[in-house]
Structure 1
Amino acid sequence: MARLSGLFLCGALLSFACQDLGIAVEVKVPAEPLSTPVGKNAELPCSYSTSVGDSFALEWSFVPPGKPLSASHPILYFTNGRVYPTGSQAKRASLLQNPPTRGVATLKLIDAHPSDTGTYLCQVNNPPDFYTNGLGLINLTVLVPPSSPLCSKSGQTSVGGSAALKCSSSQGAPRPVYNWVRLGSSPTPSPGSMVQDEVSGQLILTNLSLTYSGTYRCVATNQMGSASCELTLSVTDPSKGRVAGALIGVLLGVLLLSVAAFCLIRFQKDRRKRPKETYGGSDIREDAIAPGISEHTSMRPDSSKGLLEKPSSASSVTTTKSKLPMVV
């Protein structure tokens, strides 16, 4: 027991001696994350306690989101009584108190950019002081309103199918949440058939019917504002398409039959109006009877002689006498 009391007493005396000699470095920064609107100025508080000497040095560095602390790159240095800005933020970074030798090492950023979001390191070095807590970390978020989101759809947009509506903003900090609403006074689909994810911005529609057709709006929102986009969903019925196709086929068939019947009737009318062929007075018919021969006289061709054979009966031939007077 006496031994433990002696060790405790020695530790207390050592701690008191270290504090009295100023051989400890302690950096204090806010425990909670900081935020600032885009385009505004930001102050990153940092204070320290140490016995500032000729070897005092201050360094601010920056770590992009998702990167390890080893990937940090410097913003500015203070050493030998001078400030040395560096890096892409050099023109916008400065110290609130210059020189920072009175325990205040606050960093000031003007015109905050979205790329300024990340972790900032405030580090104080003062050799030969012992480094008990010479490093402070500050998380900064630059607030950006959501950009106009892009609406899209995918899936089978027919009766009985499923479709997915997607909404996404390329910018926005903190990350926007998404909410889908249906416009108009059409009947709202049942809740079980509409499932939306506010983080991903996706709306799933299942067991589609014609009542799902309409305009849908997606609203992206964060603490800086909101933006929206719209799209139109048209649900089709394949069965109606087949009925319409069959009806069109029937109508085309009836039309073709009507045209054919009209052409046939027109042809018949034109044929009836066409004049019949007649023989003129000067035309010689092949079956005409020579003058002076009775119509009852028959001429039969003789196939052996090539001449017309006269009938043997004289009574069947009548000779026509001239009725003109004779002149003596």
Structure 2
Amino acid sequence: MAGQLEVAATRLPAGPFLYRALLGFVCLSAPGLAVEVKVPAEPLSTPVGQTAELSCSYSTSVGDNFALEWSFVQAGKPISASRPILYFTNGHLYPTGSKAERASLLQNPPTGGVATLRLTDVRPSDTGTYLCDVNNPPDFYTNGLGLINLTVLVPPSSPICTQSGPTFVGGSTMLRCSSSEGAPKPVYNWVHVGPSPPPSPGSMVQDEVSGQLILSNLSLTSAGTYRCVATNQMGSASCELTLSVTDSSKGRVAGTLIGVLLGVLLLSVAAFCLIRFQKERKKKPKESYVGSELREDAMAPGIFEQSSMKVDSSKGLLERSPSTSTMTTTKSKLPMVV
């Protein structure tokens, strides 16, 4: 075969493009020189904790240079970001990476045309794209790489129920429900539970994908317990929320009544304080001014002191008090001018 290629090449005019085209045609037509890898066309899915088998088969003439490599890339990332899981070369198997303890080959050595990967105890982080790459130089490659998409199925985790918006009569509010885990992504369904009648269908609008429930035109009958159920093919989980609805008109009346009572209380306290202040002021004694106070028995200057007469009860005579034997005037000390 090599001699035929050399003869064909010497008879052709010079030109690399024509030479490569002829060489490719000869290699494709020669049996056992093409490498072709086959993998499932449909995505695979495996429940969490189970074992996944990623089927990969190939056709080639296995030689001393045969090599097989399995690699993995997380969902949403380019193929160029893939990382090896295991590879087989020179008759030996070499697991590698974070999945080394859980990854193995269904047939080892994989020289019989089967390169299926077995992955035990699958986890949510195992969801992504797996690459089966067969290399057997100098065989010509037609399709030496196969891609398999794997989804690890996870039941929904317990969702969290929340509420936002006013809850008074005539208003609107929103309930939310969300699970942090679940594959495929769960759908959400809200139901009203309890003895009270459910709200009218027109006042309840829910989105099964986002988990939102909008309650409009609230009434007192809208109050009660609401349950959200998150469901996927692996199972379901739920949470509950109790909604209270208040009558705004009653709230305004109650607020006005409370304001009036507070006003009356403040006025009563002010009146009590004022009355007590007046009483304390009346009880307080008057202040005395010593320097400017006049004695009632003081005699004005220029007026004669009157003598006091004492009656001697034994003699029956009137006697003058020694203190009144002399009389003085303020005028006698002043010179008299004629």
Q: Secondary structure at the match of 1:21?
A: coil
Provide the residue aligned with 1:188 in structure 2: 198
What residue number does 1:202 align with?
A: 212
Letter in 2 for 1:125: N
1:89 aligns with 2:99: yes
Distance 1:19 1:43, change over 3 A: farther
Match of 2:237 among 209, 223, 227: 227
Counterpart code for 1:113: R
- State the shift of 1:254 in Å: 8.6
Could you tell me how far apart the structure 1 residues matched to 2:219 and 2:102 are? Answer: 57
Q: CA deviation at 1:204?
A: 1.2
Q: Deviations over 1:291-315 (max 9, x none)?
A: xxxxxxxxxxxxx9999xxxxxxxx
Find the counterpart in structure 1 of residue 85 from structure 2. Answer: 75
The superposition leaves residues 223-265 of structure 1 with CA deviations (integer Å, 9 ceiling, x where unpaired) of: 1110000011111122101212334456678999999xxxxxx
What SS does the aligned partner of 1:90 have? coil
- For 2:41, the equivalent position in structure 1 comes to 31
> Are 1:133 and 2:138 counterparts?
no
Which residue does 1:273 correspond to in 2? none
Cα 1:246–1:125 shift into 2, 3 Å:
same
1:26-175 matches, within 5 Å, as: 26-175=36-185
Question: Partners of 2:113 and 2:42 in 1: how far apart?
Answer: 21
SS at match of 2:113: coil
Secondary structure of the residue aligned to 2:62 is coil
Partner letter of residue 80 of structure 1? N
User: Which letter maps to 1:176?
Assistant: P
Q: How far, CA to CA, are the matches of 2:192 and 2:147 in structure 1?
A: 45
The aligned amino acid for 1:25 is V
Q: Tell me the CA shift for residue 186 of structure 1.
A: 2.1
Superposition pairs of residues 278-293 of structure 1, within 5 angstroms:
none
**Residue identity in the other structure for 2:142:** T
Superposed CA RMSD: 2.8
Change (3 A) 1:256 1:80: closer
Q: Structure 1 counterpart of 2:68, which letter?
A: L
The answer on whether the counterparts of 2:27 and 2:34 sit within 8 Å (CA) in structure 1 is no
8 Å contact 2:27–2:140 — kept in the other structure?
no
Q: Distance in 2 between matches of 1:130 and 1:17?
A: 7
* Aligned-partner Cα distance in 2 for 1:187–1:76: 61
Structure 1 gap segments, 5+ residues each: 1-10, 260-303, 308-328
Tell me which residue corresponds to 1:312. Answer: none
Instruction: Provide the secondary structure at the position in 2 that maps to 1:239.
Output: helix
Structure 2 portions without partners, runs of 5+ = 1-20, 270-303, 308-338
Counterpart residue type for residue 134 of structure 1: G
Select 2:222's aligned residue among 208, 212, 215. 212
CA distance in 1, matches of 2:28, 2:268: 114
Cα deviation 1:96-125 (Å, max 9, x = unaligned): 100000000000011111111111111111
Aligned residues: 254
Amino acid in the other structure paired with 1:76: L
Secondary structure of residue in 1 paired with 2:191: strand
Note the alpha carbon deviations across 1:185-212, whole angstroms, 9 max, x for none: 3232222221111111111112222221
Instruction: Summarize deviations over 1:265-300 as a string: whole Å, max 9, x none.
Output: xxxxxxxxxxxxxxxxxxxxxxxxxxxxxxxxxxxx
